[in-house]
Chain A
Amino acid sequence: MDIREQVVESFRTLTVNKLRTGLAILGIVIGIGSVIALISLGQGSQQMVQNQIQSLGANLLTVQPGFSQSGSVRGAAGGGTTLTLDDALALSTDPTITTVKNVSPEVSSRQQVTAGRNNANEQVYGVYPAYADIHKITLSSGSFVTTSDLAAQRKVAVIGPQVVTDLFATDANPVGQKIRVKGQEYTVIGVTASKGGTGFQNQDAIIYIPLSTAQKSITGSSSINSISVEAASQDVMTTAEDQVGYALLKRHKIADPTQADFSIFSQQDILNTASSVTGTFTSLLSGIAAISLLVGGIGIMNIMLVTVTERTREIGLRKALGAKRATIIRQFLIESIILTILGGCIGMAFGATVSFILSKVLSIPFTITMSSVLLSIGVSGGIGIIFGWYPARTAAKLQPIEALRYE
C-alpha cells in the first residue's frame, strides 16, 4: 500500500468506527480546548488586573519644581518656579526620550468660584488636552479642553460633578452655563464623570481650564506646577525616569544630578504591587497551563491507548493477511495524525468559544495568544500521535497469532 492509499484507508477506518473515532476526537477536543480556554481566561484576568493597576497611575511620573529658595531659606518642595511650559514641550519632542507616551504640563491654584448666587472654593487646573488621557478622565457630558481652546486662550471650563453640586441646582445641565473665576467669566463646556474621592484630592471637585488661559488670567506666571509624564508601559518606568531626568538636567544646564532644581516622583508602592501581581499571575498561568496540559494529555493518552489496544486482534488479522510491521505502524500513525488534526482544530474553536463566552460572563478581556495555541496543539498533538503510535508499534511487534488471540 502506498501512502496515499493508506490515507484513504485510514479515513475509511475512521468513518466506519464512528463511536470510537468520535470518542478519540472528543478526548483531543477536551484536552486542547481546555488548555486554550484556561490559558486564555488566565491571560484575560491578568490583562484586566494590569489595566486596573495602570488606571491607578502605575506608569505615571510626576515632575515637580525643586525647593523655592529665598535667600538661604528653603521653601517647600514643589513651590519653586523652575519648571516652564517649554520644559514640558521639550520633553514631548526630545529625540532621546523614547519611552514616554504622553506629556501633560499642569498648573493648579485654589480659587473662589461663583455661579449666580452660589459660590465655592475650588481647585482650578490649567491643563493640556493630554491631561484627560493620562489621568483617565472621562466626561459624562460635553467635551474636554481642546488644542484650539488652548491656542485661543479661551475662557472655557470643564467641571467635576462635585463642582456642579456646589454651584448649580441639582438637576440642571451646566454645559453652556457661565461661572466666574477670579472675577472673569468662563463657559462650562463639559462635566467629568465621577471618579470618587480617592487619594488626597477629591477628583470630582476640580475645574479644568486651558493651561494658556490659566497662566494668563489666574497665575500670571510662565512657570508650571508639575508635568505628568506617562511612560509607554510600567516595565520601562525606570528608563523613562532616567531619560526625563537627564533631558531636564541638560535643559537646565546642571551637570550634577544632586543639584537638580526639580524632582521626579513615581508611585513606587503601586509599581511594586503591580510587579508582584504580574509575577503572581505569571506563576498562576504557568500552573494552569501545566495542569491543563497534564489533564488534557492524560485524557488523550487514555483514549488513544484504549482504542489502539482494542484493535490488537485487528492488527493480528492484518498481519496474518500479509501486512508488514511498517505498514501497520504507518496506518496507525496516519490515523493518529488525522484524529489529532481534526480534534485540534475543533478543540481550538471549542476552547476559543468557551473562553469568549466566559470572558463576556465574567466581564474580563478576551485574549487568545498564538503561544497558548501553539503550546496546546504542540503538546496535546504530540501526545496524541505518540500514544497512537506507541501501542500500535507494540502490537505490530507481536507474533500475529498472539495478537489474534488477544482478548
Chain B
Amino acid sequence: MPKNQKNQTVISVENISKVYQVGEVETVALDTVSFTIAKGEFVAIMGPSGSGKSTLMHILGALDTPTSGTYTLDGELVSSLSDDELADIRNRKIGFIFQAFNLLPRTTALHNVMLPMAYAGIPVAEREERAADALTKVGLANRIHHYSNQLSGGQQQRVAIARGIVMDPAILLADEPTGNIASNQADEVMEIFHTIHRQGHTIVMITHEPDIAAHAERILHIKDGKLVNDERNTQKTQRVRKPEDRKTG
C-alpha cells in the first residue's frame, strides 16, 4: 500500500448511535457520531471508561451493529450486512488486536497467524508462507514454532499483530493493545505499530492512556457517547521513550 493514497477514505461513519436497552432503562452508548478516516492514517480513539469508545470500536470492527446511522468500510456499507457477511468483512478487511491477545492456547504462533487465512479459504502452503512473513515483520521469525503460552505478553501481542496484518486488511483495529503488557514490552509493541504504519497500514487504536494515544497522528476524543474533539497530533511521539517516562495504566 503506497503512502500517496492517503487521501482515499477507508472509514466513513455517519450519525452512528448505539442504544442498549436493559429492561425499561435505555442507555445511550454512542450518540450521533460522525467522522472519516483516510487510508494510511494512524488514529487513536481516546476516552475515559464508559465513554462509549469500546462500543465504537466494536462497530468499527463489525463485531456489533449500530442502532442507527451508517458505517462504510472500504466502500462497503457494513451497517446493513447479515451475520455471515459481517464475518466475511471481518475476515478480509479488518485485523484485530485485542487487549487480552486472544491467541488460541497450546497452539503455535504460526498456526495462530494462519487461522484467519483458513477461514478465507487460502491454500495451506500459501498460508504458511504468508504467516511466516507476517511473523518476521513483527520480529518473531525465530519464534514461529513456539506455543502461544510459551511466549511473553509482548511476544503474544506481536503474534496477534502478525495475525492482524496477515490478511492485508483495510484497517487494523487495536483495543488497548498495551493494556496487558509489561511497560518495557509495551514500547516494542508500539514500535511495531509505527513500522507497519510506515508500510501503509491504516491503524485505529482505542486507548485511555494519553501517552499511548500520543503515538498516533490523529486523536479522536469520545466522551459520554459523543465525539468531542478531533485533533492532529502535532507532538507525535517519534521515538520510543524510556519506560520510566511512561505512566503505566
Q: Are B102 and A404 in contact (CB under 8 A)?
A: yes
Considering only residues 81-118 of chain B, those with a C-beta below 8 Å from chain A are 83-84, 87-88, 90-92, 96, 98, 102, 104, 106-107, 111, 115-116, 118
Known: A17-B106, A399-B64. A321 touches B90 (CB 8 A): yes
Checking A17, A325, A401 against B64 with a beta-carbon cut-off of 8 angstroms, the contacting residue is A401
Decide: A318 near B107, CB < 8 A? Known: A1-B121, A401-B58: no
Q: Determine the chain B residues whose CB is within 8 A of the CB of A319 once the complex forms.
A: 87, 90
Q: In the assembly, what is the distance between CA of A314 and CA of B104, in Å?
A: 7
- B84 touching A325, Cβ below 8 Å: yes
Q: Which of B63, B64, B120 has the most CB of A within 10 A?
A: B63
**Complex contact A318–B84 (CB within 8 A):** no
Q: How far is the CA of A5 from the CA of B118 in the complex (A)?
A: 9
Question: Are the CB atoms of B61 and A320 closer together than 8 Å?
Answer: yes
Query: Chain A residues with Cβ under 8 A from B84's Cβ?
Result: 324-326
Bound-state CA distance A205–B182 (Å) is 97
Closest to A8 in B: B124
Q: Point out the residues of chain A lying under 8 angstroms from B58, CB to CB.
A: 401
CB of B47 to closest CB in A, whole Å: 18
Tell me the nearest residue of chain A to B83, going by C-beta.
Answer: A325
Grouping DSSP codes into helix (H, G, I), strand (E, B) and loop, the B interface class, with mixed when no group exceeds half, is helix
Known pairs A322-B87, A404-B102; A327 contacts B63 (CB<8 A):
no
CB distance from A18 to the nearest CB of B (A): 9
Partner of A318, one of B115, B120, B124: B115
Residues of B within 8 A of A12 (CB): 111
Minimum Cβ distance to chain B for residue A27 (Å): 21
* B98 and A404 contact, CB distance less than 8 A: yes
Question: A155 at interface (Cβ–Cβ under 8 A)?
Answer: no
Interface pair A321/B116, CB less than 8 Å apart: yes
Structural contact, B61 and A322, CB atoms closer than 8 A: no
Q: Give complex CA distance A286, B87 in Å.
A: 49
- Cα distance, A17 to B104, chains bound together (Å): 11
Total B residues in contact with A, Cβ cutoff 8 Å: 26
0/1 interface trace, chain A 1-27, chain B, CB 8 Å (1 if under): 100010001001000110000000000
- Chain A residue nearest to B124 in the complex (CB): A5
Complex interface residues of chain A between 300 and 323 (CB less than 8 A to chain B): 313-314, 317-323
A400 within 8 Å of B (CB atoms):
yes
Interface string of B52-89 (1 = CB under 8 A from A): 00000010010110000000000000000001100110
> Contact string, A317-352, partner B, CB cutoff 8 A, digits 1/0?
111111111110000000000000000000000000
The verdict on A322 contacting B88 (CB below 8 Å), with A16-B106, A327-B119 known, is yes
User: Chain A at the B interface: mostly helix, strand, loop or mixed?
Assistant: helix
**A16 CA to B149 CA, complexed, in Å:** 12
Task: Name the residue on A nearest B91 (C-beta).
Answer: A322
Q: Across the interface, which residues of A come within 8 angstroms of B119, CB to CB?
A: 1, 318, 321-324, 327
Q: Which of A86-120 contact B (CB under 8 A)?
A: none
Nearest Cβ distance between residue A375 and chain B, in whole angstroms?
A: 37
Cβ distance A327 to chain B, nearest Cβ, rounded Å: 7
Minimum CB–CB distance for B107 against chain A, Å: 6
Give Cα distance in the complex from A131 to B91, angstroms. Answer: 84
Chain B residues near A17 (CB, 8 Å)?
A: 106
Q: In the assembled complex, how far is the CB of residue A82 from the closest CB belonging to chain B, in whole angstroms?
A: 88
CA distance A5 to B64 in the complex (A): 29
Q: Is the pair B88, A313 in contact by a Cβ cutoff of 8 Å?
A: no
Whether the pair A399, B63 counts as a contact (CB closer than 8 A) is: yes
CA of A130 to CA of B90 in the docked complex: distance in angstroms? 84
- The answer on a CB contact under 8 Å between A321 and B64 is no
**B83, B87, B104, most chain A CB atoms within 10 A:** B87
The contact string, 1 if C-beta is below 8 Å from chain A, for chain B 123-166, is 01000000000000000000000000000000000000001000
Contact between B87 and A324, CB atoms less than 8 A apart? yes
In the bound complex, what is the Cα–Cα distance between A187 and B106 (angstroms)? 84
**Chain B residue nearest to A317 in the complex (CB):** B102
Are A321 and B96 within 8 A (Cβ)? yes
A42 to B90 Cα, complex, angstroms? 57
Q: What is the bound-complex CA distance between A32 and B63, given in angstroms?
A: 41
Known pairs A321-B116, A322-B91, A325-B84; list 12 more (Cβ under 8 Å): A1-B118, A5-B124, A12-B111, A16-B107, A313-B102, A320-B61, A320-B102, A321-B163, A324-B83, A399-B64, A404-B63, A404-B102
10 smallest A-B Cβ distances: which pairs?
A: A322-B91, A322-B119, A401-B63, A321-B116, A317-B102, A324-B84, A16-B106, A324-B87, A401-B58, A400-B63
Give me the interface of A with B, judged by CB distance under 8 Å. Answer: 1, 5, 9, 12, 16-17, 313-314, 317-327, 399-401, 404
Chain B positions near chain A (C-beta within 8 angstroms): 58, 61, 63-64, 83-84, 87-88, 90-92, 96, 98, 102, 104, 106-107, 111, 115-116, 118-121, 124, 163
Sample (22) of A-B pairs whose CB atoms are under 8 Å apart: A1-B118, A5-B124, A314-B104, A317-B104, A321-B91, A321-B96, A321-B115, A321-B119, A321-B163, A322-B90, A322-B91, A322-B92, A322-B120, A323-B87, A324-B83, A324-B119, A325-B84, A327-B119, A400-B63, A401-B58, A401-B64, A404-B63
